């Protein structure tokens, strides 16, 4: 995953590009660069290894005059090590064409070999550089046979060369190109990688995320796969890969830039942890009172009749989203709905075994997760309907899916997901209650009781976050530990997995999440004196069993940190207690995950880790 920014207009182009890169740095941060053009047909290109501020220092020492357009990129390496040579933008042999690109060009070696035979010289190890040379080669061909160029094309030679180039690319890409000889336009194309256009007054923007230009405009065009955008100062035109002009509707983004700022918190992750009461409320708002299926029909376009025809449910997702979906399996099955949950990256063989009336539930915060998108396509090929749960308007998964439920959590900048996870988990409850009611698994009275409990959750989330100071003090004595075990039973087992993942992601320590009943089948061997074991032990049918598992760990020297409620805390023996509000065990994952998020955050803070930009990770994994 990487970040793209582009601008054409009268502002100082380099300043717009740098500001956009700063807002997209969460998408990639091992190298970055920008290129600007002016009306004298000159390009200026600057690149740097490392963060955007390193590039800003280089740009500050330069004299940029008369710029009219530019493109920029912040990189997360997929081909070639992080270096200035491998940083984008990349150029052709003459240094007149510059390219930025997100995604993977699957046939780049084949294309590179052909271009090398034609005399092209490459300066990087990336797949992206192939695009610049490919456009250059297409320009040479067109200049030899100008009569073949269609007269109605804008800046016909450049457009046609670009169109022909992207048409032979295989893989996923969002690509933007400048040519020194046509400074008045920027060309962009999309295939399986996000790209959005911002429409302003006598200026236009492009980016891989709207936050890059939201300060300047809220009017956006979401590009679809197989589309080309031609940006000029005066407007934007759209074409398909065949060169046919198409009409697109613009959308208005309904959140402002302040939502993407830290708001006084030390890190985005901490800010987003504290935004979770609002995230749950936003996901719940107007959706939790089922009336004969009308709610889901309005929200999803899914009728009561279609819900009744649904047999089982198949969840597919990756990482944190998978943990939300795995918890969803327990939730759906509590309501009598048979459910399976699989990692999207392991779905290939399973997809062909799905019964045709199985509804596939695909979960992705960004809506661009490559493995999840691939799994969705497999399910569609098998003839299954797909319901997407995502936080991102206009994302790829929404166009592939038959139905979409947005979580409305607002932008999540921290790489380690928190509020998006809670939004996804909340969506599981919304769907489970509505499906169960429509299918006759629960009465209207039972449905309303569930709704009443869900509507209390935002307040209880707020109350649970009041544990922050206790968690902060607690972590001081654990920050030097290198091994952690997280255990739980039943519906909180996925929360143990999520707690272990969070501390691994941002603290770089070894952590395992286990179903507590499995401890005696192997994991108990790693417990030694002083090892921290975090146990979810809330009131419910599983309490007596988890108490026994805690005792097994204590007997081997583990230091127990127990997530409890008031009643269960009286029955559990632990070294430390973190008490959450009491709720039915069915709804407890919405609360039990919160102290685990805070625990991971403060362990990472005490270890001086880069919490919002953990090493080797990116916000959305758009390659398989």
pLDDT, averaged in runs of 10, over the chain (624 residues): 88 92 74 87 86 87 83 76 81 93 85 93 89 93 62 69 94 91 94 90 92 90 94 95 92 68 79 92 74 66 89 96 98 96 93 93 92 95 95 84 88 89 96 92 91 92 97 95 96 98 96 93 89 97 95 94 95 96 96 98 96 80 62
Alpha helices in 317-381 (DSSP H): 319-334, 348-351, 370-381
Same domain, 285 and 348: yes
Same domain, 242 and 340: no
- Tell the burial category of 360 from Cβ atoms under 10 Å away from its Cβ (0-12, 13-18, 19+): buried
Same domain, 230 and 91: yes
**Backbone φ, ψ for residue 179 (5° rounding):** -125, 130
Residue 445 in domain: yes
Specify the 3-state DSSP secondary structure of 248.
Answer: coil
Domain harbouring 308, CATH code:
3.40.50.10490
Residue 615 in domain: no
Same domain, 251 and 288: no
Dist. CA 1–CA 495, nearest whole Å: 27
Specify the 3-state DSSP secondary structure of 446.
Answer: helix
Dist. CA 596–CA 179, nearest whole Å: 50
pLDDT of residue 256: 63
pLDDT in tens, 271-286: 999 999 988 988 887 6
135 and 95 Cβ atoms separated by less than 8 Å:
no
Dist. CA 34–CA 22, nearest whole Å: 12
Dist. CA 8–CA 178, nearest whole Å: 11
pLDDT of residue 104: 77
**DSSP per-residue codes, 401-443:** SSEEEE-------SSS-SHHHHHHHHHHHHHHHHHHHHTTSS-
**DSSP per-residue codes, 46-110:** EEEES-HHHHHHHHHTS---SEEEEEEEEE--SSS-SSTTTSSPEE-TTS-EEEEEEEEETTHHH
Same domain, 369 and 452: yes
Tokens of 86: 């491998």
Same domain, 529 and 576: yes
pLDDT of residue 327: 98
Which residue carries 């047999």 as its tokens? 311
Query: Of the candidates 536, 554, 268, 280, which has an alpha carbon nearest to the alpha carbon of residue 428?
Result: 280
pLDDT of residue 315: 98
Please say if 419 is a catalytic residue: no
Counted domains in the chain? 2
Same domain, 276 and 205: no
Show which of 227, 255, 283 is a domain's final residue: 255
Same domain, 384 and 246: no
Dist. CA 553–CA 545, nearest whole Å: 13
Residue 624 in domain: no
Domain harbouring 211, CATH code:
3.60.20.10
Dist. CA 235–CA 222, nearest whole Å: 15
Q: Residue 376: which domain range?
A: 268-606
Residue 571 in domain: yes
Please say if 2 is a catalytic residue: yes
Show which of 255, 282, 309 is a domain's final residue: 255
Tokens of 493: 């087992």
Same domain, 192 and 319: no
Please identify which of the residues 271, 329, 502, 619 carries the catalytic annotation.
Answer: 619
Show which of 214, 232, 255 is a domain's final residue: 255
End-to-end Cα distance, the chain: 11
Same domain, 167 and 188: yes
pLDDT of residue 255: 64
Residue 384 in domain: yes
DSSP lists the bridge partners of residue 157 as none
Same domain, 385 and 522: yes
Residue 619 in domain: no
Please identify which of the residues 2, 32, 318, 609 carries the catalytic annotation.
Answer: 2
Dist. CA 298–CA 304, nearest whole Å: 11
Residue 621 in domain: no
Same domain, 554 and 443: yes
Enclosing H/E stretch for 347: none
Which residue carries 């034609």 as its tokens? 118
**DSSP per-residue codes, 546-603:** HHHHHHHHHTTT-EEEEEE-TTGGGT---SEEEE-----GGGTHHHHHHHHHHHHHHH
Residue 261 in domain: no
Dist. CA 31–CA 202, nearest whole Å: 31
DSSP lists the bridge partners of residue 578 as 563
Specify the 3-state DSSP secondary structure of 365.
Answer: coil
387 and 302 Cβ atoms separated by less than 8 Å:
yes
pLDDT of residue 613: 87
DSSP lists the bridge partners of residue 404 as 388
């Amino acid at each position: 995953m990487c970040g793209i920014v582009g601008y054409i207009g009268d502002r100082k182009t380099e300043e717009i590009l740098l500001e956009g890169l700063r807002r997209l740095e969460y998408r990639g941060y091992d190298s970055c660069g920008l290129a600007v053009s002016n009306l004298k047909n000159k390009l200026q290109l600057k690149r740097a290894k490392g963060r955007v501020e390193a590039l800003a220092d280089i740009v500050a020492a330069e004299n940029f005059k008369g710029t009219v357009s530019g493109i920029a990129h912040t990189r997360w390496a997929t081909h070639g090590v992080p270096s200035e040579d491998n940083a984008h933008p990349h150029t052709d042999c003459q240094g007149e064409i510059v390219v930025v690109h997100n995604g993977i060009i699957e046939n780049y070696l084949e294309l590179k070999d052909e271009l090398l035979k034609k005399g092209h010289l490459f300066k990087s190890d990336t797949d992206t550089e192939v695009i610049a040379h490919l456009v250059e080669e297409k320009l040479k061909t067109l200049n030899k046979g100008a009569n073949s160029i269609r007269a109605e094309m804008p800046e016909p030679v450049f457009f046609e060369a670009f169109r022909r180039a992207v048409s032979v690319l295989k893989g996923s890409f969002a690509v933007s190109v400048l040519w020194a000889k046509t400074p008045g336009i920027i060309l962009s194309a999309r295939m399986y990688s996000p790209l959005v256009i911002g429409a302003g007054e006598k200026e236009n923007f492009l980016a891989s995320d709207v936050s890059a230009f939201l300060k300047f405009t809220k009017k956006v065009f979401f590009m679809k796969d197989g589309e080309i955008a031609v940006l000029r100062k005066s407007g934007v035109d759209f074409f398909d890969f065949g060169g046919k002009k198409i009409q697109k509707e613009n959308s208005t983004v309904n959140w402002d830039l302040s939502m993407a700022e830290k708001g006084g918190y030390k890190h985005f992750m901490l800010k987003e942890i504290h935004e979770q009461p609002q995230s749950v409320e936003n996901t719940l708002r107007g959706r939790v009172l089922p009336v004969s299926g009308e709610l889901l029909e309005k929200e999803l376009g899914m009728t009561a009749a279609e819900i009744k025809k649904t047999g089982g449910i198949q969840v597919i997702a990756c990482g944190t989203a998978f943990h939300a979906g795995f918890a969803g399996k327990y939730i759906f099955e509590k309501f009598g709905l048979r459910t399976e949950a699989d990692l999207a990256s392991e779905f290939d063989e399973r997809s062909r075994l799905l019964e045709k009336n199985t509804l596939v539930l695909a979960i992705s915060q960004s809506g661009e997760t490559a493995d999840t998108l691939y799994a969705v396509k497999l399910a569609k090929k098998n003839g299954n309907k797909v319901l997407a749960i995502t936080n991102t308007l206009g994302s790829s998964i929404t166009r592939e899916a038959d139905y979409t439920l947005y979580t409305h959590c607002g932008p999540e900048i921290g790489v380690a997901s928190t509020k998006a996870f809670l939004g996804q988990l909340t969506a599981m409850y919304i769907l489970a209650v509505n499906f169960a009611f429509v299918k006759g698994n629960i009465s209207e009275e039972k449905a309303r009781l569930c709704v009443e409990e869900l509507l209390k959750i935002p307040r209880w989330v707020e109350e649970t976050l009041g544990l922050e100071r206790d968690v902060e003090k607690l972590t001081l004595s654990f920050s030097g530990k290198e091994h952690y075990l997280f255990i739980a039973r039943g519906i909180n087992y996925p929360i143990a997995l999520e707690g272990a993942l969070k501390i691994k992601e941002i603290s770089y320590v070894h952590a395992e999440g286990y179903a507590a009943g499995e401890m005696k089948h192997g994991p108990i061997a790693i417990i030694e004196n002083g090892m921290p074991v975090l146990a979810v032990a809330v009131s419910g049918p599983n309490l007596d069993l988890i108490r026994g598992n805690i005792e097994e760990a204590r007997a081997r020297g583990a230091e127990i940190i127990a997530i409890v409620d008031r009643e269960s805390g009286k029955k559990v023996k632990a070294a430390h207690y973190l008490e959450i509000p009491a709720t039915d065990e069915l709804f407890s994952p919405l609360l039990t995950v919160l102290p685990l998020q805070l625990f991971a955050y403060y362990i990472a803070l005490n270890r001086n880790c880069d919490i919002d930009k953990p090493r080797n990770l990116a916000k959305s994994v758009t390659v398989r």
